Amino acid sequence: MNHAFGLRSVPGALAFGSVGVPDSFLPEICALFGQPVAGNPMQFMMERAFAQQGLDWRYLSFEVTPESLGDAVRGLRALGFRGANVTAPHQFAAVKHLDRLSEAATQMGSVNCITRDGQELVGENTDGKGFLLSLRSVIDPLGKHIVLLGAGGAARAIGVELALAGAQKLTIVNRTAGHGQDLANLLAKNPNVQIEFVPWEGKYEVPADAQVVIQATSIGANDPDADVPVSFRHAAPGLVAADVVITPPETAFLSEAKRHDCVALDGLGMFVYQAAIAFQHWTGIAPDTTAMRDAAEEFLSS
């Protein structure tokens, strides 16, 4: 099954070239900028997707320090790269080096995807849209009460897209009150969504009227046993519990949610879809997201 729903196919896109028999010996290049990038499955997954579509394209991961980010983006521009993904810690700082931003990236104040459009570099944030595509495989956020744990970059991207997708109520729960309140204030600009901020003190009880709870903090990254201080004892039957963490995708949060008969959604879905949207921005082709997920799983289990 191809999970590329929601992504547009462009006929004739294979004209770019074919793997093994390059048309021009001048491949198109895309990149990942971050620090650290070692262990990130993006390059492995993107190169699989290029090959699967018969594209003679390359994808390279670069360790970029915060001091070098401007030079890295200027290099991307000078060398004619088709695009780049931007990961931690550069999502906010990259904005000032670009020519234009999408509406979502403007609202979030951060980018995770750069696309060259003629002489311009355009910033987009595909994290929230990727999360939405993943979430919609199990539930439509329209009219739902959704709890968002965390208020960092991932939570902000997800919150903005959930508000645009017609969530009825968003409850932001965060350890540092100032960060949580900032996100609540940003989301409150959407007049049709009820926004609530709850400081995270002790164990947070997921309320019985919530239909979705999203673990969007960095707890669990590189630590599958890390405890997220949350209780599901009042959770409604069929509650969807989603995690954003991918290293590894099987988190203690999701195990606990499954023990309470919740529907569990791992962070790999978001990861694959946000990358698939970037892929389509660069190439005009909707990739096979099932094959991309297989590649990401293969990389993470090796």
Interface ranges with ligand NDP (CB under 6 A): 88, 127, 130, 150-155, 174-176, 179, 217-219, 221, 244-246, 267, 270-271, 274
Q: Which residues of 118-140 are buried (b: 16+ CB within 10 A; e: fewer)?
A: eeebbbbbbbbbbbbbbbbeebe
Q: Which is closer to ligand NDP, CB of 16 or CB of 115?
A: 115
Residue number, 2 or 176, with CB nearest to ligand NDP? 176
Q: In angstroms, what is the minimal distance from the CB of 25 to ligand NDP?
A: 34
Smallest separation (angstroms) from ligand NDP to the CB of 197:
12
Q: How far apart are CA 200 and CA 32, in angstroms?
A: 33
Nearer to ligand NDP by Cβ, of 17 and 41: the residue is 41
Phi-psi region of 166 (alpha: psi -120 to 50; beta: other; left: phi over 0): left
Q: Output the smallest distance, CB 133 to ligand NDP, in A.
A: 11
Distance CA 257, CA 195 (A): 24
At which residue do the structure tokens 């895309």 appear? 30
* Least spacing, CB of residue 84 vs ligand NDP, in Å: 15
Answer whether the bond into residue 22 is a cis peptide, omega within 30°: no
Nearest approach, Cβ of 286 to ligand NDP (angstroms)? 18
Which residue's CB atom is positioned nearest to ligand NDP?
152
Q: How far is the CB of 269 from ligand NDP (least distance, A)?
A: 8
Q: How many other C-beta atoms lie within 10 A of the C-beta of residue 76?
A: 22
For ligand NDP, the closer of residues 40 and 115 by Cβ is 40
Closest among 144, 112, 135 to 269, alpha carbons compared? 135
Nearest residue (CB) to ligand NDP, 42 versus 164? 42
**Shortest approach of ligand NDP to residue 155 CB, angstroms?**
6
Q: Is the CB of 55 or the CB of 296 nearer to ligand NDP?
A: 296
C-alpha–C-alpha distance, residues 92 and 251, integer Å: 27
The residues that bridge with 58 in the sheet, in sequence order, are 29
Provide the edge-to-edge strand list for the sheet that holds 212-215: 194-199, 169-174, 145-149, 212-215, 240-243, 263-265
Cα 274 to Cα 132: distance, rounded to the nearest angstrom? 9
Phi and psi, residue 130, nearest 5°: -65, -40
Shorter beta-carbon distance to ligand NDP: residue 18 or 218: 218
